[in-house]
Amino acid sequence: MLTLKCSACRAKLWKYYKIGPGEVLRCHRDRIRKVWCMEERDGKVFCSCGKAVGIDKGSFVKMNKGAFTYSGTKDTT
């Protein structure tokens, strides 16, 4: 499970169950677990500080590179 944080204010955004190796480019909504900050308006996803961290694509959020950091483990199975 990965914990995503805003790169601007370092607030926790949400926990994400990532499958497979590689970069976190998108977050599928059905694998987002715990949410601390996720403000959605005008088709974008913001941190509570106002930083745009992603774009709403319906079933997933396309993440803005550099707008977030993450820690934790990727599940490779």
Would you give the binding string for Zn ion spanning residues 12-51, x where CB under 5 A is met?
-----------------------------------x-x-x
Binding region for Zn ion (CB under 5 A) out of 6-14, 16-24, 25-33, 68-76: 6-14
Q: Which of 2, 4, 6, 67 binds Zn ion (CB under 5 A)?
A: 6
Neighbouring-strand partners of residue 54: 45, 63
Which residues of this chain interact with Zn ion, rule CB under 5 A? 6, 8-9, 11, 47, 49, 51
